Structure 1
């Protein structure tokens, strides 16, 4: 087994024995452990391999005592300086091939600093945060965002070693060591075009067959769960150049963002592919509903709407004509910005498994109003293909792949012919 280096992000001014234990445990596994100390409150119990003074200087403050003063009066500035400095140092280590995985351990401050640094690192690089905050729903979304950061809930606070904490720290070390030992690296190479697909359970009868149809045509399909995070992450990966095309079955993030639903996906839905100049086929699945489960304000606001109750957390209410027309305007604006071939595929018999005849959210009048508005606003060169089938069906998946394949061929031809 090749020896790897695991970077431990630490605040050694408030915790010492815990990090010493973690470092020694990693080394006992045959790997190198490098302690990066971002301490900003007081003198550390012992020096890190990368000291808090080095971190402070890299962040722009040459005197660590200045950081400690700021910590008392303007804590955010002190924290930002240490994050900036640590990120610069870690990126240099990465560039030099001197780090293969990153482990953070601690509570609120450590989780914030460590995960912010981790977010700057490449997709696929092992990143693990062992934290007493990992079970807190209000914070975890902020710590992880759309990045591939693994959170381990220590349950107890990371303060002084005890048998319960030791068990969790051993688990954390085992996890990060396993990751670096098995990691194939993060320079991923593809020998075929990679195509993103948005998916969720209410459209799976179309999504699952489309994966096989794409493979048959020589593509590598990558489904992205459109629950507000997965589709947001997809848009980020599009802008980073990971994908060469998109079949966007589930554009629900547009409506969720507009109406403040549980699955809001930011303002880049559809736009990322348009501005990145890659072909896309877009469908309206998920625009027929708004996710309100667990949100008392939304549940009360939409109490008079038809709703589908999946479980306590997944309650979907039907979207109204006026809202859908607003969504159509947003979608049209973003598709009109496309620098590559794009098209809309319109299923005439419903948009999701909840939008079928006899189901709670079935409303063909509202669906039609959305599509009429969209057609009126799209550029003439962007086709809308009506298909007399339901979206949640294998046939729709096949139609989407066929249409995408045509657009992709057009795109390749245009690229080869040059500007």
Structure 2
């Protein structure tokens, strides 16, 4: 059977932007005639054109909406976007699962970007995704979330072709063509590779836990693992848990759980209320610790809420100000860690919590700005009490989180848990 052509999904609202999408399609094919384009119409009304591969009615049917296009048009714009998004997600995921596409691209304003980004967030990390958008120069965290969507600012509105928009679309077409070919080659090599892929380990890190994390990373690499380090800035924690859900990780060293402090106190690096759940639900071997739970993260000093300005704080950089967590906050953080692990662990024998009794960050050791033994003890006690009888073991070490001996012990133990699980 001959290999499938390298194909690119192009998805958008063709009832309003057909001209622009046809131009994008032509530039992709002009860049490399060996490529194929799957043009998908996720617009609100039916439009006919020979270049359209998957019509609006097919996407609408995939959404489960059964009242017909006329009924759809009578709905509010927001409801239409939700319906078409649902159908587009199902349509594109089927194409991806059958390996019929190797990249996806879209053009859009806020509505089209909402549909396209929702579709792309459902695709695996490392699958090429690109959106040319009018909103790409603003805060795009809502659209990108913890995925690897690439966003390109359109400069001008996507409303008629002109010299600037054509040049931007030309660049996007060339970029997605290159991405698709590279991806197709990579998965072909993966299919043909007879060597066993190294097992992946996820580790969370912050500046104040870097020394300990790097030592653990090097030890795990010496054992033959492939290690992925995630910066615990909200999106980092979510990204690690996404890879765990996708089955890309075989173990986790969740050493830096500082995102929970930001969730609790309103800091800028919250990972949301589902943090700590994915690996537990997947039954992955994991060691959870309390790295950087001595701090809440904010932006520049003048942006920090007034209620925190009288607290113990450090201007970490001109753009980051950190505030010491209190005894009461640490008690609550310990309760949350215990509760989330206890309620979500499907295999408690493969989850352990390790506590560094002499400091949870580089700023929390004796002589440093955030050293507070009382608050740390409140954190540790809440975790131990909360996990009592859960089957999740708690290990206390008389050291700080950046000590080389701690790093070596924790890496060795994770390897043992992975070997036990088989």
Per the normalisation by structure 2, the TM-score is 0.88
Aligned residues: 407
Q: 2:36 matched to which residue of 1?
A: 32
Asked whether the 8 Å contact 2:238–2:275 carries over to 1, the reply is yes
Structure 1 unaligned regions, length at least 5: 413-419
Q: Any idea what the Cα deviations from partners look like across 1:210-259, whole Å, max 9, x if unmatched?
A: 11211222322222221111111222332333222211110112222222
Structure 2 CA distance for partners of 1:121 and 1:361, relative to 1, 3 Å: same
Asked whether the 8 Å contact 1:227–1:263 carries over to 2, the reply is yes
Asked whether the 8 Å contact 1:61–1:67 carries over to 2, the reply is no
Q: 1:366 deviation in Å?
A: 1.4
Q: 1:325 matched to which residue of 2?
A: 331
Q: 2:410 matched to which residue of 1?
A: 400
User: Which of 247, 260, 263 does residue 257 from structure 1 map onto?
Assistant: 263
User: Which of 220, 226, 250 does residue 214 from structure 1 map onto?
Assistant: 220
Q: 1:350 deviation in Å?
A: 1.8
Q: Does 1:302 align with 2:308?
A: yes
Matches within 5 A, 1:27-176: 27-30=29-32, 31-40=35-44, 48-59=52-63, 60-61=65-66, 63-70=68-75, 74-137=76-139, 140-176=140-176
What SS does the corresponding residue of 2:100 show, helix, strand or coil?
A: coil
Q: Does 1:356 align with 2:365?
A: yes
Q: Any idea what the Cα deviations from partners look like across 1:345-389, whole Å, max 9, x if unmatched?
A: 222332222323443322222112211232233226544333333
Q: 1:263 deviation in Å?
A: 1.2
Q: Which is worse superposed, 209-218 or 50-59?
A: 50-59
Q: Which is worse superposed, 375-384 or 339-348?
A: 375-384
Q: 1:277 matched to which residue of 2?
A: 283
What SS does the corresponding residue of 1:325 show, helix, strand or coil?
A: helix
Q: Any idea what the Cα deviations from partners look like across 1:80-132, whole Å, max 9, x if unmatched?
A: 22122222322333344322111011110110011111122233221111111
Q: Does 1:376 align with 2:385?
A: yes
CA distance in 2, matches of 1:320, 1:387: 22
Asked whether the 8 Å contact 2:301–2:315 carries over to 1, the reply is no
Structure 2 CA distance for partners of 1:6 and 1:411, relative to 1, 3 Å: closer
Structure 2 CA distance for partners of 1:333 and 1:131, relative to 1, 3 Å: same
Q: 1:244 matched to which residue of 2?
A: 250
Structure 2 unaligned regions, length at least 5: none
Asked whether the 8 Å contact 1:18–1:161 carries over to 2, the reply is yes
Structure 2 CA distance for partners of 1:362 and 1:155, relative to 1, 3 Å: farther
Asked whether the 8 Å contact 2:251–2:286 carries over to 1, the reply is yes
CA distance in 2, matches of 1:14, 1:75: 14
Asked whether the 8 Å contact 2:301–2:321 carries over to 1, the reply is no
Q: Any idea what the Cα deviations from partners look like across 1:323-359, whole Å, max 9, x if unmatched?
A: 1001111112233353233322222332222323443
Q: 2:294 matched to which residue of 1?
A: 288
CA distance in 1, matches of 2:155, 2:205: 33
CA distance in 2, matches of 1:304, 1:205: 30
Structure 2 CA distance for partners of 1:179 and 1:47, relative to 1, 3 Å: closer
What SS does the corresponding residue of 1:309 show, helix, strand or coil?
A: strand
Q: 2:181 matched to which residue of 1?
A: 181
What SS does the corresponding residue of 2:249 show, helix, strand or coil?
A: coil
Asked whether the 8 Å contact 2:12–2:112 carries over to 1, the reply is yes
CA distance in 2, matches of 1:221, 1:197: 7
Q: Which is worse superposed, 114-123 or 321-330?
A: 114-123
Structure 2 CA distance for partners of 1:21 and 1:205, relative to 1, 3 Å: same
Q: Which is worse superposed, 125-134 or 38-47?
A: 38-47
What SS does the corresponding residue of 2:53 show, helix, strand or coil?
A: coil
Per the normalisation by structure 1, the TM-score is 0.88
Structure 2 CA distance for partners of 1:7 and 1:352, relative to 1, 3 Å: same
